[in-house]
Structure 1
Amino acid sequence: MSKGKVVVLGSNATRIETKGGYWGNTGQYLNETVVPAMALIAAGYEVVLATPDGTPPTIDKASDAPAHFGGDVATYEHGKVFYAEDPSMKARTLRSVLDEGLDNYAAIFIPGGQAPIVDLMQDQEIGEILRHFHEHEKPTAMLCHGPISSVAAMPYAREFRAALIAGDPEKAKEWAQGWQYAGYRMTVFEKAEEKVIEDTILHAKIYFDMPFALGLAGAIVDTGPDFEPYVIEDRELITGQNPRSDHPIAAALIAALDRKRAAA
Structure 2
Amino acid sequence: MSKGKVLVVGSNATRIEIQGGGTGPTGQYLNETVVPAMALVAAGYEIVLATPDGTKPHIDPVSDAAQHFDGNEAAHKRGRDFFDDHRAMNDARTLRSVIENGIDGYAGVFVPGGQAPVVDLMQDADLGEILRRFHARRKPTAFLCHGPIGSLAALPHAKEYRAALIAGDVSKASELARGWQYAGYKMTVFSASEEKPIEEQVLHGKLYFNMPDALRMAGGDVTTNPVDFSPHVIEDRELITGQNPRSDHPLAAKLVEALNRVTVSA
TM-score normalized by the length of structure 1: 0.99
Q: Which amino acid aligns with 1:240?
A: G
Q: Which residue of 2 aligns with 1:46?
A: 46
Shift of 1:100: 1.3
Supply the distance in 2 between the matched residues of 1:14 and 1:200 (Cα, whole angstroms).
17
Give 3-state SS (helix, strand or coil) of 1:80's partner.
helix
Give 3-state SS (helix, strand or coil) of 1:160's partner.
helix
Runs of 4+ in structure 1 deviating by more than 3 angstroms, as ranges, are none
Q: Which residue of 1 aligns with 2:100?
A: 99
Matched, 1:69 2:72: no
Shift of 1:142: 0.1
**Residue correspondence of structure 1 range 206-245 to structure 2 within 5 A:** 206-224=207-225, 225-245=227-247
Q: Which residue of 1 aligns with 2:35?
A: 35
Supply the distance in 1 between the matched residues of 2:206 and 2:6 (Cα, whole angstroms).
34
Q: Which amino acid aligns with 2:85?
A: E
Give the gaps of 5 or more residues in structure 1: none
Q: Which amino acid aligns with 1:41?
A: V
Instruction: Identify the match of residue 249 of structure 2 among 233, 247, 253.
Output: 247
Shift of 1:200: 1.1
Supply the distance in 2 between the matched residues of 1:7 and 1:142 (Cα, whole angstroms).
12
Give 3-state SS (helix, strand or coil) of 2:56's partner.
coil
Shift of 1:170: 1.4
Matched, 1:60 2:87: no
* CA offset digits 1:156-197 (Å, max 9, x no partner): 001100000000111101001101000000000000000110
Q: Which amino acid aligns with 1:226?
A: D
**Residue correspondence of structure 1 range 108-123 to structure 2 within 5 A:** 108-123=109-124
**Residue correspondence of structure 1 range 133-144 to structure 2 within 5 A:** 133-144=134-145
Supply the distance in 2 between the matched residues of 1:89 and 1:35 (Cα, whole angstroms).
13
Instruction: Identify the match of residue 263 of structure 1 among 253, 259, 265.
Output: 265
Q: Which amino acid aligns with 1:217?
A: A
Give 3-state SS (helix, strand or coil) of 1:54's partner.
coil
How much is the aligned-residue C-alpha RMSD, in angstroms? 0.6
Shift of 1:69: 0.3
Supply the distance in 2 between the matched residues of 1:102 and 1:50 (Cα, whole angstroms).
12
Supply the distance in 1 between the matched residues of 2:202 and 2:12 (Cα, whole angstroms).
19
Give 3-state SS (helix, strand or coil) of 1:102's partner.
coil
Q: Which residue of 1 aligns with 2:83?
A: 83
Supply the distance in 2 between the matched residues of 1:70 and 1:31 (Cα, whole angstroms).
10
Supply the distance in 2 between the matched residues of 1:237 and 1:89 (Cα, whole angstroms).
24
Shift of 1:82: 0.7
- Percentage of matched positions with identical amino acids: 66
Give 3-state SS (helix, strand or coil) of 2:195's partner.
helix
TM-score normalized by the length of structure 2: 0.98
Q: Which amino acid aligns with 1:189?
A: F
Give 3-state SS (helix, strand or coil) of 2:104's partner.
helix
Supply the distance in 2 between the matched residues of 1:170 and 1:188 (Cα, whole angstroms).
23
Q: Which residue of 2 aligns with 1:189?
A: 190
Shift of 1:257: 0.4
Give the gaps of 5 or more residues in structure 2: none
**Residue correspondence of structure 1 range 2-41 to structure 2 within 5 A:** 2-41=2-41
Q: Which amino acid aligns with 1:263?
A: S
